Amino acid sequence: MRSTPKTLLWFALLLIAACAPTPKRVVILVDGERRVVETQAATVQDVLNEQNITLGDNDRVDPPVFAPIARSATITVTRVQLKVQVVRQPIPFTRQLVRDESYPADQMRIVQLGANGTVEITYTLTLEDGKETSQRETGRSIIRQPKDEILALGTQGSLPSVPLTGSIVYLANGNAWVMRHSSGEKRPLTSTGDLDGRVFSLSADGRWLLFSRAGDSNSNGLNTLWLIDTLVLGEAPRALPINDVLYAQLSPDARSIAYSTGEKTPGAPGWKAHNDLLVAPLVVSDTVPLKPPQTIWKSSVPAPYSWWGTNFAWSPDGRAIAYAFANEIGYIDLTNRASSDNPAPRRVLKRFAPFRTRADWVWMPQIAWSPDSRFIIGAAHAPLGNPSVATDDPTFEVWALARDGTVNAPLAKQTGMWAAPVWSPPDARGDSHIAYGVALAPSDSERSRYALDVMDRDGGNKTQIFPTSNENGLVVVQVAWSPDARQLVAVRDGDLWLYDFSSGSWSPLTANGASSLPRWGK
């Protein structure tokens, strides 16, 4: 059969039609519209490009842009917007009830009015096609801290008055208090409520109190140093030109102040120690309270965990200052210093392994002097093994260390880390004794309550004076001896209690639930 030109043309057109791509029918749902288009595009992205549909960074497409287009398809474009919304909300204040010994018993008064704080909360909102679908908190900032409402319940006269020898000064609810001659004659020395308890040093005669006040939350300082005469009624504390102290103490004759400084830092523990030591002569006047200080130690004395600081204690004879690091107890001879450029050397009396707390605090021995200035006493970390390697072994002992190096011996073992031994003044026979804490759970002495024991200066005649069988132990070991060594005062569950050795009995001295740091002067 012979093909004609007309037949050949017909076959060519049919072949072209068979090879031509089939149009694809696509429905596009976008911006509230429904578009129906025919396209030869290969992928979703190609279709969007043909239709001049631009995607934002957060927009969502279903199916995804890389998906191929079938003969029929539906493409959904969801417009996604992220918005930031900032909302301020109140922080409700809380109510505190404190007991106040300067106010009649069972009467209530408002010490401080409460005020709500303010928090600024940042939310990120997700909107899909203009409708909010989710809300997520992405930031929170305290604009104003709430101010607690403080109510005081009077407890004045709720306890029987107990006669005292000398003066007891203590800290309660952020203020210094004094009781003289009897526990019924107590009065506040300050009223600001901001004593931080870092410095609380009473002169031996009970007249002068050196204390520190916490720095303002808006300032860069740790605290400020103040001095007050406890004998004068209504005496206003005097500010001293010393700030940012981690330690400060009046000299035995109350004519000088020894101190060590640090600086405020963000995060725990909130400070960084300079590990310096200075002594400033004190002039009791309204104009020039201090003369320029003498440098005993320059900054950055090397020690393990030096960022925490150093514990110090001035000897009763005024000629030396004991120190304690996390691994060492010794003293500084104040008479052996050539010049301010030649810092006083330290004499090491005992080295031991640092205690590894695995936390943001550092254990250091609390140290005290014997009344004759011959011995330093303190708790030492005493694990078996390498004495220079930090360990969390819970073994602690109370050691007596002779200033001249002739005696270096443990007086009490398995005492716990917070033993806080304190030497008494000489009694009527010229003997002195040591009060110290003993952990009721020695293997966990960090959290344990403590018994209170008394022993002779050589470690003999150990006697537990607290607790009895039906009492809990001490939360914190804070003890002060009477000037005649016939009594001592200790902190029991937030109040001061007096122990009389002749009667073997305890008597409560305070009823505020917030007493601490007792100091006893003549």
Confidence of residue 266 (pLDDT cuts 50, 70, 90): confident
The average pLDDT across 140-169 equals: 86
Q: Identify whether the C-beta of residue 477 lies closer than 8 Å to the C-beta of residue 495.
A: no
Task: Give the pLDDT of residue 166.
Answer: 93
Task: Give the pLDDT of residue 268.
Answer: 86
Confidence of residue 389 (pLDDT cuts 50, 70, 90): confident
Confidence of residue 23 (pLDDT cuts 50, 70, 90): confident
Confidence of residue 168 (pLDDT cuts 50, 70, 90): very high
Q: Which residues pair with 29 in a beta bridge?
A: 34, 76
Distance in angstroms (rounded) separating the CA atoms of residues 358 and 441: 20
Q: What class does CATH assign to 82-144? A: mainly beta
Number of Cβ within a 10 Å radius of residue 245: 22
Distance in angstroms (rounded) separating the CA atoms of residues 82 and 124: 7
3-state secondary structure of 19: helix
- Express each pLDDT in 485-499 by its tens digit: 999 999 999 999 999
Task: Give the pLDDT of residue 303.
Answer: 80
- Express each pLDDT in 60-115 by its tens digit: 999 999 999 988 899 999 999 999 999 999 999 998 877 777 667 777 778 788 89
Task: Give the pLDDT of residue 225.
Answer: 96
10 membership: H or E segment, kind and range: helix 5-19
Strands 479-481 and 463-466: unpaired
Report how many helices (DSSP H) and strands (DSSP E) the chain contains, helices first.
2, 39
Q: Identify whether the C-beta of residue 34 lies closer than 8 Å to the C-beta of residue 27.
A: yes
Provide the percentage of residues in the chain whose pLDDT is more than 90: 69
Kindly tell me if the per-residue pLDDT of 13 is higher than 70: no
Number of Cβ within a 10 Å radius of residue 326: 23
Distance in angstroms (rounded) separating the CA atoms of residues 129 and 119: 31
Kindly tell me if the per-residue pLDDT of 41 is higher than 80: yes
Task: Give the pLDDT of residue 127.
Answer: 92
The average pLDDT across 8-33 equals: 70
Q: Identify whether the C-beta of residue 464 lies closer than 8 Å to the C-beta of residue 409.
A: no
- Express each pLDDT in 112-152 by its tens digit: 888 999 999 999 999 999 999 999 999 999 998 998 888 87
Task: Give the pLDDT of residue 216.
Answer: 76
The average pLDDT across 30-45 equals: 91
- For the domain made up of 308-477, give the CATH fold: Methylamine Dehydrogenase; Chain H (2.130.10)
pTM exceeds 0.85 for this model:
no
φ/ψ region of 40 (left if φ > 0, alpha if ψ in -120 to 50, else beta) reads alpha
**Matching residue, tokens 């309204």:** 286
Amino acid at 69: I
Task: Give the pLDDT of residue 288.
Answer: 55
C-alpha distances in Å from residue 265, one per residue of 306, 308, 357: 14, 12, 21
